[in-house]
Structure 1
Amino acid sequence: MKVLVATEKPFAAAAVEGIRKEVEGAGHELALLEKYTEKQQLLDAVADADALIIRSDKVTAEVLEAAKQLKIVVRAGAGYDNIDCEAAKAKGVVAENTPGQNANAVAELVFGMLVYAVRNFYNGKAGTELLGKKLGILAFGNVGRNVARIAKGFGMDVYAYDAFCPADVIEAAGVHAASSQDALFETCDVVSLHIPATPETKQSIDKALVGKMKKGGILVNTARKEVINEPELLELMAEREDIKFVTDIMPDANDEFTKFAGRYFSTPKKMGAQTAEANINAGIAAAKQINAFFKDGCTKFQVNK
């Protein structure tokens, strides 16, 4: 079987080496398409691929149409909205992600930005501490659980809400289970977002919801840009000069947010999974999942069932 790694932003060399070891060790062929600049390069490369590993690369219906032999595509990372899952399903192509491999990297970034925010972006003025503050985690998956682990080290009082995770599971992790999304925002000093971008969640973080936060509230987004209702958040921040917003996903309205100096920060590009460890872990996990699929038909991480 031919396994294509198609990455406009390449894996680290150590990750490629690990992927090669897994793929060739299982008797498959590895092909690399790195730093490509034109869609046609991807269309040509997938023509004879049986499996595909990607990062943030887009696997559209057009790509799937060109990939006549493709049986599985694995997104090395948690989010998979860059794969047209319905088109893949229609073509009989299994789509998978690698949940948990980037979780610690994202969680650590949450606290990197959060300390920066509570210390007034290191502008020389006295800030506040995280000790004793209430942290709300919206969605208690792999990243949310790592955020909770780190928060306890800071001595924070941790709450979480997840519509798909039972309250007793959250409580068993030593975290307070909020009764609702609204209650989470009303209760906590800081809310960290870890929800996927779905029809139900897109634009859901709006003025009414964030406006429930107490004075000095901080919103942290390392999830997806689409979950933020940017016009309404801009309106709220204009009305409430106590609200801070930090994110590793530059908003479409970035220029408008920058007017809130001292209350807003965005990394220049999405940084959550940008560590050497996460890069290697996700790439090797993707290769192992492809090997398991070809060996035993394993689809444990399929996202387009």
Structure 2
Amino acid sequence: MKILVFTEKPFAPAAVKAIADVINASGNDMELVERGTRADLLNAVKDAEGLIVRSDVIDAEVMEAAPKLKVIVRAGAGYDNIDLQAATNHGICVMNTPGQNSNAVAELVFGMIVMMCRNQYNGTSGSELKGKSLGIYAFGQVGRNVARIAKGFGMKIQALDVFVSDEVMEAEGVTPVHDVNELFSQNDFVSLHIPATPQTRNSIGYDLVMKMPKNGVLVNTARKEVIDEEGLKKALEERPDLRYVSDIKPAAAEEFEKLFASRVFFTPKKMGAQTAEANFNAGVAAAEQSIAYLKDGWNKFQVNK
């Protein structure tokens, strides 16, 4: 059986070799297409039974071009680049690889936080994290790693997640909160880890950001779609003490940078999972999950129904 690895943003060479070794050892064949076009994808997927992708958009058109396709694995946690309903309609299992990138994303959160606390290292006096409060919005694998690192800085930690019990959070040394307004009003830093869903899109805007304490920092390593950019811009205009850092550029990035200069920072592309370790782990996990599904129907991490 053919497993297609299609990535506009390529895996690291070591990860590609490891993925190939896993697939070949299973008796399946791997086809690798890196930095391919849409036409390349539609052509290569025609005879594929498994498909491994990163942030590539996989929609109904791709699935209609792939009559043999049985499983799609997103090498990473987020999967909003895949049309789940179309996959279900075509009888295709979609899985992600939760936890493989979580430490990398969490470390990036603190890389950006420290940079902003030290005024982007511009030579002026900054502030420390010890004793400050951090609110974590969604307490999944990334959120838990963020909490682990925050404890090392001596921070006070709160988290909000309707799917995680108070007991689980308390066991991690985290104080649970049950209202998003409290999360924003009670913490010097708020780190977003919510998915982009109909309920969360544009949900972080003026009202919430304005509730943050003086010198508050909002950190987004989730999705840009969860931010109400106009509302955020208004809050930053009215509160010159507030700052915003993000792992993905907002649509109005140039305007934000022009208006707010060193109070905002955006990575040039989504970089949370851009480490050699995360790249390797997610790629190998995606290969193993693809093989397990094609062989035995294993679907522990299926995200569509």
With the shorter chain as reference, the TM-score category is over 0.9
1:47 and 2:46 matched: yes
Aligned to 1:120: 119
Q: TM-score, normalised by structure 1?
A: 0.98
> SS at the partner of 1:20?
helix
Q: RMSD across aligned C-alpha pairs, in angstroms? A: 0.8
Aligned to 1:131: 130
How far the C-alpha of 1:262 sits from its partner, in A, is 2.1
How far the C-alpha of 1:291 sits from its partner, in A, is 1.5
> SS at the partner of 1:291?
helix
Aligned to 1:160: 159
1:264 and 2:264 matched: yes
How far the C-alpha of 1:217 sits from its partner, in A, is 0.5
1:18 and 2:22 matched: no
Aligned to 1:185: 184
How far the C-alpha of 1:295 sits from its partner, in A, is 2.3
Aligned to 2:240: 241
Whether the aligned pair in 2 keeps the contact of 1:100 and 1:142 (CA below 8 Å) is: yes
CA distance in 1, matches of 2:251, 2:117: 24
How far the C-alpha of 1:7 sits from its partner, in A, is 0.8
Whether the aligned pair in 1 keeps the contact of 2:162 and 2:178 (CA below 8 Å) is: no
Aligned to 1:297: 297
> SS at the partner of 1:292?
helix
Moved more, 15-24 or 70-79: 15-24
> SS at the partner of 1:59?
coil
One-letter identity of the residue aligned with 2:235: L
How far the C-alpha of 1:35 sits from its partner, in A, is 1.4
Q: Deviations over 1:158-211 (max 9, x none)?
A: 110012111121111111111211111111000000000000000000111111
One-letter identity of the residue aligned with 2:18: G
> SS at the partner of 2:94?
strand
> SS at the partner of 1:252?
coil
Whether the aligned pair in 2 keeps the contact of 1:234 and 1:256 (CA below 8 Å) is: no
CA distance in 2, matches of 1:112, 1:277: 17
Whether the aligned pair in 1 keeps the contact of 2:47 and 2:68 (CA below 8 Å) is: yes
CA distance in 2, matches of 1:48, 1:33: 14
1:83 and 2:82 matched: yes
CA distance in 2, matches of 1:245, 1:294: 44
Q: TM-score, normalised by structure 2?
A: 0.98
CA distance in 2, matches of 1:75, 1:180: 31
Q: Deviations over 1:191-247 (max 9, x none)?
A: 000000000000000111111111111000000000000000000100011100011
> SS at the partner of 1:261?
helix
Aligned to 2:35: 35
Aligned to 1:281: 281
How far the C-alpha of 1:113 sits from its partner, in A, is 0.3
Question: How much identity, in percent, do the aligned residues show?
Answer: 60
Whether the aligned pair in 1 keeps the contact of 2:100 and 2:281 (CA below 8 Å) is: yes
Map 1:91-240 → 2, pairs under 5 A = 91-240=90-239
Runs of 4+ aligned residues of structure 1 deviating over 6 Å after TM superposition are none
How far the C-alpha of 1:134 sits from its partner, in A, is 0.3
Whether the aligned pair in 1 keeps the contact of 2:60 and 2:86 (CA below 8 Å) is: yes
CA distance in 1, matches of 2:39, 2:247: 30
> SS at the partner of 2:32?
strand
Q: Return 5+ residue gaps in structure 1 as ranges.
A: none
Q: Return 5+ residue gaps in structure 2 as ranges.
A: none
Aligned length: 304
Aligned to 1:66: 65
